[in-house]
Amino acid sequence: MLVIVCPGQGSQTPGFLAPWLELPGFRDRMLWLSTVAGIDLIKHGTESDAETIKDTAIAQPLIVGAGLISLLALFEHPADGFRLVAGGAGHSVGEITAASAAGVITAEQAMVFVRERGRLMAEAAKVTPTGMSAVLGGDPDDVAQVLAKHGLTAANNNGGGQVVAAGTLEQLAALSADPPAKTRVIPLPVAGAFHTKHMAPAVKELAAMARAISTHDSRLRLVSNRDGTVVHSGREFLDRLVTQVSNPVRWDLCMQTFRDIGVTALIEIPPAGALANLAKRGLPGVEVLALKSPDQLSEAHRMVREHAQPSQIADTPTWRLIIAPAKGIVSFTHSEPGSQVPAGSVVAAVNTLRDTFEVTAPHGGQVIEWLVEDGDPVSPGQPLLRLHPTAA
């Protein structure tokens, strides 16, 4: 079972895009995405120095654009991708790449959205000098207490003993001078305290833009970095893309979901490295590839052939399918075939070790059949219910 993961800001390095532009058609595609974004992504991905591509307004479109074009080379027959991948996820801005890859939004919508996201977050970062630092190791409770003492937010919980602290530069300096016991504190090359209250000014305008974006439901298991749940509704996932700007990233819960669905292989698309390293520590026994250059494509194609499994979601009409958001025990609310389910109503609940997740019907309709029994154990992304759409 194969998952594809998309990296976030801070993963970019000078010149990382250059080898990909040597592949037939890739320079033309990146030129098109550059035109859509209004940014010269080819120049920034090949010539610009580290300080230039650290700029949020440049880094975010560059990462998403690079991810989108590299995805085209990941499959020997790209149109088969939906049927071969068990799931996908993105870290921070990488969720935009994942949303486009899953069919929720188009590549053009992704580039406009990420351009505005980067611009608005860059403006928010200018209000107060802020940044982020990785805290490696230590006792989790002790780390949490020290961050709270310094007024910092755990903006990313990446698993494997890695937490990213975010706040003002003064707060981060205090953390470096007084770190939690048995930890290393490493400043990150980012331009602001992302996924914290400092980014709140960007959320309102992004939300207004998102209301004008049309979406489609995901064609594979799309794991949200807010809480590690599988989100099928395109509209809900787009809403999460907006709110995650000022909320923490729980990559540790994403990796837990990968374990729950039985993932056997993980490929990180360019600019790759950070998420693959987390997976090597947090997902023992899973084959991991950080796809950094086209020279590794033959290895990636081999992994796709060996680990791909047919997707239940991709081969089913998504507009009438309700899926499980997490691993747990399902209990029905609407159990009778033929009953009407209003749009937005709760049709079931999935009880997990962490929480209880309500399962809603975003489209509404008539219950045709339950695909599981009341009280069954279910996995993240497993189809639960088929609805026939009815007139509002």
Query: Catalytic residue positions?
Result: 92, 195
Cβ-Cβ contacts under 8 Å for 290 (sequence gap 6 or more): 268, 272, 273, 275, 276, 277
Q: Looking at beta carbons, which pairs linking 28-37 to residues 24 or more positions away fall under 8 Å?
A: 29/69, 29/72, 30/65, 30/66, 30/69, 33/65, 33/68, 33/69, 33/107, 33/111, 34/65, 36/107, 36/108, 36/111, 36/112, 37/61, 37/65, 37/111, 37/112, 37/114, 37/115
Other CB atoms within 10 Å distance of the CB of residue 312:
16
Residue among 4, 3, 8 nearest 248 (CA): 8
* Dihedral pair phi/psi, residue 201, rounded to 5°: -60, -25
- Count, in order, helices (H) and strands (E) of the chain: 14, 18
- Please state, in angstroms and rounded to a whole number, the distance separating the CA atoms of residues 231 and 222: 6
